[in-house]
Amino acid sequence: MEKGTCRANANIALVKYWGKRDETLMLPQNGSISMTLDGMHTTTTVEFLPSLKADEVTLNDALLADGKEFAQVVEHLNIIREMAKIKTFARVASKNNFPTAAGLASSASGFAALSMAAAKAAGLKLNPQELSMLSRRGSGSASRSIHGGFVEWKRGEKSDGTDSYAQQIAPPSHWPNFRMLTTVVSTSEKKVKSRAGMKQTVETCPLYPGWLSSVNADLDAVRSGIKEKDFHKVGATAEHNCLKMHATMIATNPPIIYWNPATMEIIHLVQVMREEGVPVYFTIDAGPNVKVICQEENMQDIEARLKELSGVKNVHVCKPGGPAETLKEHLF
C-alpha cells in the first residue's frame, strides 16, 4: 500500500457549532459557518504497514503514548480500516505549524488532514462530501476544513448522518480582503476540551435552548452577508453568536470560563476601536485566544494596537485559505 500525505488548513467558525445530538456519529445540534485560514495548517502522513503490531502516532515529532489523543486517532483509523476492509496497523506522523489545543482549531485541521491522508493510504477514493463526513467523525469542526474559503456545515436531519457534511459558500477569491487576526494570549492546552465542554452544556445549561432557537437566524445572516460581502453584517452577527455561545458555557454546571484577563483586554480594545469608527469585530472559540475580524485596509493599525497589549504574545494574520490537498512529499 502507498503512503498518503495531506495538508489541511484550520478554520474558525463565524457561526459556532456547539453541542451534539449524536456522540458517536458526531452529529451537531446546529449548523455552522466558518472561514478556512490560509497558512495555519496540519500536515499528516499515513502508511498502513503489515509489520506493525499496533498503530504508531507522532504529533509534532513526539510519540503519542496511550492517552486520549492517541485513542481518538486509533478510533478514527478504525473507521477508515472498516471502510477499506483492512486490518493493518498504521504509522501516522502529523505536524501543526501553530500551537496545539489552545483554541486555535488544531483538531479541525488535524482530523481533516488525517482523514484525507489515511483514506488515500488505504486506497479509498472519496469525494469531498464523503471526506467531509469522514472528517466529522474525528472532530465536528474538521468537516469544514476539507473546503477552502467560506464553508457551511449543514446540521442535517437524518439519524445516520448522511446529510451532515460541509459545503463551500464562496471560494477565497470571492472576498480576498477579509482577514482573521488570530491573537495568541496563551499557548497552554485548554482545561476543558470542546468535546467535554459541549456535552456538559447540552446536559446542564438552562440557556442552551435559547442558543439553539437563535442559531438559524445567525446562519441566514452570515451566509447572505458572505454572498453580499457585507462586512458589518458578517462581523456583527459572528461576534454576537460567539458571545451567545460563551454565555451558555459560563452558565453550565460547573461553569466553564475559557477567558483570561488578556481575552478581556482584547474584547475591550475591539470595542474601543469600533467606537472610533474602525470596522472590526471578534470571535472566540473554546479557549482564551481571540480572533479579530477585519478587512485588509484596516489590518496594519489593528495588528499594531493588538501587539501593544501586554497579554498578547503573538498575532497571526490569516486570509481566506484553500481546501485540503494531497502532497507528494511525505513526512517519513
Interface residues with ligand PMV (CB under 6 A) are 13, 16-18, 32, 107-108, 139-141, 194-195, 285-286
**SS3 state at 37:** strand
Burial class of residue 86 (count of CB atoms within 10 Å of its CB; 0-12, 13-18, 19+): middle
Query: For ligand PMV, which is the closer residue by CB, 141 or 289?
Result: 141
Query: For ligand PMV, which is the closer residue by CB, 9 or 91?
Result: 9
Nearest approach, Cβ of residue 268 and ligand PMV (Å): 22
Nearest approach, Cβ of residue 89 and ligand PMV (Å): 25
Report helix angle 68-84 to 106-121, nearest 10. 30
Nearest approach, Cβ of residue 276 and ligand PMV (Å): 29
* Distance, CA of 150 to CA of 144 (rounded, Å): 9
Instruction: Report the run of H or E that residue 166 belongs to, with start and end.
Output: strand 166-170
**SS3 state at 323:** coil
Query: For ligand PMV, which is the closer residue by CB, 218 or 285?
Result: 285
Nearest approach, Cβ of residue 323 and ligand PMV (Å): 17
Please list, in sequence order, all residues whose beta carbon lies within 8 angstroms of the beta carbon of residue 308, skipping any fewer than 6 positions away. none
Q: Which three cell numbers stand for residue 86?
A: 483492512
Query: For ligand PMV, which is the closer residue by CB, 122 or 286?
Result: 286
Nearest approach, Cβ of residue 34 and ligand PMV (Å): 6
Nearest approach, Cβ of residue 186 and ligand PMV (Å): 16
Phi and psi torsions of 110, nearest 5°: -65, -50
Query: For ligand PMV, which is the closer residue by CB, 49 or 267?
Result: 267
Residues 280/235, Cβ–Cβ less than 8 Å: yes
Please list, in sequence order, all residues whose beta carbon lies within 8 angstroms of the beta carbon of residue 57, skipping any fewer than 6 positions away. 63, 64, 70, 73, 74, 92, 93, 94
Closest CA to 154 of 142, 139, 164: 164
Nearest approach, Cβ of residue 287 and ligand PMV (Å): 8
Query: For ligand PMV, which is the closer residue by CB, 3 or 195?
Result: 195
Query: For ligand PMV, which is the closer residue by CB, 47 or 218?
Result: 218
